[in-house]
Amino acid sequence: MIGAAAESMALDLRDAVVAGATRTGRTPAKDLTDFRIKRVIDALYKELEMQQGGMPASLWEQFQAYWPAFIQQIRGARNDVGHPASVEPVTPETVHAALLIFHELAALTTKLLAWVPTHYKMTV
């Protein structure tokens, strides 16, 4: 459930970024609209990396340092449950880590969602 919620937040951020880029007259990267979440997350990171100049330094530092780690840890746990590479069960420690990280991921995503409309402004 945490993995699904984390991916949902990533998709919400993706939707905001796609809408913002479209408002400015840019065509968003194709992978931002892909049905595979891994491609979406990678494309989202690349898009926001390109926009770092317009992002407050503290937000960029948080995004660059934490977003990939948070998303990967939670997605990794979800993949271990849904697409196991082995028959070993997901450990309580992995689940606990995902629960601890989720709050921070939600807080960072909320900050990014607040920033996106201020950055992607319509061009005239």
pLDDT tens digit string along 29-86? Answer: 999 999 988 899 999 999 999 999 999 999 999 999 998 888 877 777 666 666 656 6
pLDDT, tens digit, for every residue of 87-116?
Answer: 667 778 877 888 888 899 999 999 999 999
Question: Does residue 124 lie within any of the structural domains?
Answer: no
Q: Give pLDDT, residue 69.
A: 84
Q: Give pLDDT, residue 7.
A: 87
Question: Does residue 7 lie within any of the structural domains?
Answer: yes
| Residue 33 one-letter amino acid | T
Q: How many domains does the chain have?
A: 1
Which domain range does residue 90 map to?
2-119
Question: Does residue 37 lie within any of the structural domains?
Answer: yes
pLDDT, tens digit, for every residue of 4-26?
Answer: 788 899 999 999 999 999 999 99
Q: Hey, what long-range contacts does 74-80 have (CB within 8 A, 24 or more apart)?
A: 74/2, 74/3, 74/6, 74/98, 74/101, 74/102, 74/105, 75/3, 75/6, 75/7, 75/37, 75/38, 75/41, 77/2, 77/3, 78/2, 78/3, 78/4, 78/6, 78/7, 79/3
